[in-house]
Amino acid sequence: MDIIELTDGDAFVPLRRRWLTKVFVTSNFVSLLFQSSDDGLMAVSDDSCNVNKNMIDIGLFVQLAFLSLLSS
């Protein structure tokens, strides 16, 4: 049993319970892809520092956005 079921919190969750884990794992995977692709670019070239910084920022923003969506 999970906390949502124990507290009858279905009305307060933005997604259905069966979708929460899927959305959470998918968002973490997408964020990880952004950040790891940026790490690969940083290892290959030194010319695109601004692009690399932006990719890291996008990955972190995606992770924070989905986390705030799921925790609201």
Would you say the pTM of this structure is higher than 0.85? Answer: no
Return mean pLDDT, the chain. 76
Which of the four pLDDT bands, split at 50, 70 and 90, describes residue 47?
low
Instruction: Give per-residue pLDDT as tens, 49-69.
Output: 666 777 778 878 888 888 887
Which of the four pLDDT bands, split at 50, 70 and 90, describes residue 23?
confident
Q: Is the pLDDT of residue 48 over 70?
A: no
Please answer whether residues 70 and 24 qualify as being in contact, where contact means their C-beta atoms are separated by less than 8 angstroms. Answer: yes
Domain residue limits, the chain: 24-72
